[in-house]
Amino acid sequence: MKCHVPGPNVKVLGRTVHVLARFGDELYLESLPDCVLLKTLNASESAYAMIKFNNSFFSYFKYNFYSTEDNESLKCKISMKSALNAFKSPTHMDKQVENLEIKLDPDACKLIFQFKCKHGIVKTHYVSILDCKATQAVYTKDQVPNRIITSQRLLSETLGNFQSSDDQVTIEATNQSLILRNYVDANIELTKIIRTQINLKASEFDSYTVGVDTTITFTLKEFRALLAFAEALSLPIQLQFETTGQPVVFIVHNGTTFEAHFVMATSKPDALTQTQASSQNNSRTDYKRKEVNNSVGPMKKKPHLDIDISKCLDEDSHLFNYIDIPEETDLRPEKNGTTEANAAEEDNLQEYMDCDIPGSPTSRTKIKSVFKRCFESTFDPRSIQGVKLVENSDSD
Amino acid sequence: MKFRGIMIDAGPMREFTNIVTTISKLSKECVLRLSDDKLYFIVSEDNSGPAPPVLWCEIPQVVFFSEYQMIGIDEEHKDIYLSVISANLAKSLVTLKSAKSLKIKLTKKQCPCLTLEIEMQSVISQQSRQVTHDIPVVVVPRKMWSDFHEPKVQTPDISIELPTLKQLRTTIDRMRTMAQEVVIRASAEGKLTLQIKTDMAKVSTRFKDLRVEAFEGPIDHSDSETESVAIEDISKLCHCRVDAKKFSMFLSADNISHNRTICSIVHKKLVILCLYTQENVKLQCFITGIVY
C-alpha cells in the first residue's frame, strides 16, 4: 500500500494518532482496497478505537502498490510511541508539512512515513512492524435503542464541572434528561470526594433518542481524549449505547473522508453515589477496615522480628482494642442477629442527624463478628448494660 | 441544623469565588462558620493544636445572598461550624463565574455535605442547566467552637495602609528567594520598610507617604539592638520580623477586589494584615513575629 496525505489532512492524521495514544499502547494499521483503518485497544481491553480514512482523504491511494495479489488486506501493528514520534505537535503540522507519504510493503519489516516539509526538507520515519495481525472489536452501533447527537462543546463544557481527579463518569439517561455524575469508587472514603451531578435537558442536544432508560459508567480519561479530538476538528459527537454492561460507542465523522469509532466498556453504576444503600455501605467499610488491618499488621510486626512472638501478639491485639470501645449501638446488632442490623442502622441514621461527627457503627459490628474470638478474653460484660468505659467524645 | 442560601448576582458570586480561591491557597482546611448575619471563614494553623486562628474572614450575608436561612442546634448555639477542605470548595466554585445562580445548602447524603446547586447558562443554547456538587464537610462539635473564636489581640502600636498588593507581592517574592524572614518596619511618618538580611547582603524596600491609621505612641526600644537608623526618630518606629512565606501568602489575596489593606503591627510580636472590600468583607491574617 502506498498513499499520499495532503498537508491539511496530515494535521487530522496527527490528531488521530494522538487520540489513539490516549487509548492504547499499540497501533494497528490496516489497509483495505478503498480505505485505511487505524485501530487501538487498551491493555485491559476495555476501550477500543477505530478510525477509518476513506480513499478521498488521500491525494493518492494505491492499495496493491507492492503486490498484485488482491485477496488479503494489508495489516500491521506498530508501537504507539513510534507513531507518536512521527506525529509530534499536530497543531503546527499543517504549516510545516506539505505532503506525507505512507508506504506499507507486506514483505518488509518497516512501515515508512515520509514527510515532505517546506523548504525541501524530507523527514523519513522507518517504524518497525511488530506484528501482522489485526484487531477487531465486536460491537453493535446502529441497532441500539439509545442514540444521542451533540455538539462537542456541550460535552466539554459539562465535563469541565468535574474534578480532574475524577476518573469515571456515570451517565443516567432517561427520555427527558441526561444526568452525568462522577463515579465514586467503593474504596474511596466518601468524606474526601466531591460528588458532582450535572443535569442536561434533552432539548440541549442536537438529537436525542433514548428508547430504554439506562445507567452506564465508563472512564473519563478516554472520554476526555475523544472530546479533545472532536473539539480540535469541531465535529459533533454521536453517542450510541444500550444498557449497562454493553459498550458505549462514540462516533465522530465528517461525512465523507473519515469516521472515528470509540468504543468503551461500561460497568455497573454505583448505587452508592447518590442513593442511600446502607447494606452496601456496610460491607464496603468493612472491607476497608479489614484491609487496613492487614496492611498495618505486617508493618507493625517488622521491627519486632527478633523479639519474641508474644510481643508481636501484644502489638496486634492493640489493633483490635480500638474497636472495642463499648457503645450501645455496637452491641445491638450483635445480639439481635444480622436481620436486625439494617433496622439498627436505620436507627443510627436517625440518631446521626443530631450527631455532629458521623460514626461508622456498622463496620464495627462486622469487624466484631469477624474477629469475635479476639474479643472474647478482653470483652467487658459490663458494657452490655450500657456502661461507658470511655465518655462519649461527642456530647452533641 | 439547617442552612440554605441563594446567590443570584454575578458580582457577589465572582467575589465569593475569589475569596474561597484565596483561602484555598492559604490553607488546606478551613472552618466555615455560619451565623445569622455573617459567614466566616476561619483558618487555624495546620497541626499546631489549639491555636488562635491565623486567618479570619467575615462576609456579611446580606450583600451576597438574596435568600439566607439558617437554624443552629438550639437557642444558645445558633451558629453552625463546618470544617471543609478548602480546595474542594474552591474547585467546585470555579464555574461560578459564568453561572446564573448558586444555591448552597447543608445536606446529609450519607455524610454531611455542603451541596452547591449551580445553575449554568449554556454558552451554545439559551437553556440553563443544573450542576450539583456535594462537598463533604465535618460538623464541628460545640466544645471545639472555642478554638475558632476571633483572636483577641492587644492594640496594635501602629496601623498603616499598605501599598498595592501586587507591587508588594513582587517585592516579597523576590526577597523570599533570598531569605526566609522579612522585617517589616513602619513609622508614624507613613514609611514602610521591608528588609531582609543574608550573609551576603541586606536588602530593603521602602515605601513612603502611606496613610497612618493609628499610632499608639512612643515605642520602647530599650531592649533592642541599636542598629536602627539614627536619623529617624526611633520612638516612632515599630518593627516585627515575620515569615516571608506567610506574608506572601496573604498578598495572593490581591485577586479579591478590595478597597484598602491595612497592616497593623504590635511591636516585635504580631503583624495583622487586614483587607476590606466594597461589600464589607473583612479578611484578616495574623502573622506572629519571630523573636530572637
Say whether both A105 and A207 belong to one domain: no
pLDDT at A304 (0 to 100): 37
Q: Within a 10 A sphere around the Cβ of B285, how many other Cβ atoms?
A: 24
Distance CA B105, CA B113 (A): 8
- CA distance to partner chain B, nearest, from residue A355 (Å): 9
Are residues A232 and A189 both part of a single domain? yes
Phi and psi, residue B3, nearest 5°: -150, 140
Question: Which part of chain B has CATH 3.70.10.10?
Answer: 2-148, 158-288
The domain that holds A175 is classified in CATH as 3.70.10.10
Choose the final residue of a domain: A136, A152, A174.
Answer: A136
Contacts by B162-165, CB closer than 8 A, 24 or more apart: B162/B192, B162/B210, B162/B261, B162/B262, B162/B263, B162/B273, B163/B192, B163/B207, B163/B210, B164/B254, B165/B251, B165/B253, B165/B254, B165/B258, B165/B261
Predicted local distance difference test score (pLDDT) of residue B109 = 82
Q: What fold characterizes domain B158-288? A: Proliferating Cell Nuclear Antigen (3.70.10)
Query: Percentage of chain B with pLDDT > 90?
Result: 9
Would an 8 Å CB–CB cutoff place A274 in contact with chain B? yes
Q: Is B278 exposed, middle or buried (0-12, 13-18, 19+ CB in 10 A)?
A: exposed
pLDDT in tens, B114-172: 999 999 887 666 778 888 999 989 888 888 887 788 777 788 888 999 888 888 888 99
State the virtual CA torsion across A155, A156, A162, A166 in degrees, nearest 10.
Answer: 90
> What does the pLDDT read at residue A160?
85
- A160: part of which helix (H) or strand (E)? none
Q: Note the pLDDT tens digit of each residue in A247-280.
A: 889 999 888 888 999 998 888 755 544 433 333 3
In this complex, the residue of A192, A193, A204 whose CB is nearest that of residue B129 is A204
The more confidently predicted of residues A366 and A174 is: A174
- pLDDT value of position B205: 92
Q: Domain for residue A372, yes or no?
A: no
Tell me what pLDDT residue B206 has. Answer: 92
pTM for this one?
0.70
Contact A154 B138 (CB under 8 A): no
Residues A19 and A132 in one domain: yes
- Any bridge partners for residue A385, and if so which? none
Instruction: Find chain B residues with C-beta within 8 A of A163's C-beta.
Output: 91
Provide the number of structural domains found in chain A. 3
pLDDT band at A324 (very low <50, low <70, confident <90, very high): very low
In the 8-state DSSP scheme, what is residue B49? Answer: -
Does any domain span residue A338? no
DSSP state for residue A278 in the 8-state scheme:
H
Instruction: Quote ipTM for the complex.
Output: 0.77
Confidence class of residue A31 from pLDDT cuts 50, 70 and 90?
A: confident
Residue A45 placed within a domain: yes
Distance from the Cα of residue A21 to its chain's centroid: 15
Question: Does A235 fall in a domain?
Answer: yes
pLDDT of B71 over the 70 cut: yes
Question: Do residue A248 and residue A147 come from a single domain?
Answer: yes
Render pLDDT for B101-124 as a digit per residue (tens, 0 to 9): 899 999 888 888 899 999 988 766
A176 has a chain B CB within 8 A of its CB: no
- A131 with A144, same domain: the answer is no
Please give the mean pLDDT across all residues of chain A.
72
- Which residue does chain A place closest to B80, by CA atoms? A356
Q: Grid coordinates standing for B76?
A: 444558645
Please name every residue paired with B6 in a beta bridge, in sequence order, or none if there are none. Answer: B67, B103
Q: Using an 8 Å Cβ cutoff, are B56 and B284 in contact?
A: yes
Is A362 part of any domain?
no
Report if residue A340 sits inside a domain: no
Contact yes or no for B130 and A281 at CB 8 A: no
What is the tens place of the pLDDT at every residue in B189-244? 888 999 999 898 899 999 988 888 888 877 776 665 545 555 556 778 888 999 88
Name the residue range of residue A295's domain. 275-315
State whether A38 and A91 are in the same domain.
Answer: yes
Residues A89-111 have a mean pLDDT of 84
Contacts of A356 in chain B (CB under 8 A): 139-142
User: HSE (CB half, 13 Å, CA atoms) of B71?
Assistant: 4
| CATH number of the structural domain B2-148 | 3.70.10.10
- Residue A357: CB atoms within 10 Å: 14
Quick check: A286 pLDDT over 50? no
Closest residue of B to A394, CA-based?
B141
* pLDDT > 50? residue B186: yes
Pick the residue from chain B with its C-alpha nearest to A277: B110
Residues of B whose CB is below 8 A from A162: none
> Per the structure block, which three cell numbers stand in for A166?
475524577
Nearest residue of chain B to residue A346 (CA atoms): B110
- The neighbour count for residue A307, using CB atoms within 10 Å, is 11
**Chain segment A360-374, per-residue pLDDT in tens:** 444 444 555 555 555
- A115, A136, A157: which is the final residue of a domain? A136
Final residue of a structural domain among A238, A269, A300: A269
Identify the band that residue A92 occupies on the pLDDT scale cut at 50, 70 and 90: confident
Residue A294 — very low, low, confident or very high, per pLDDT cuts 50/70/90? Answer: very low
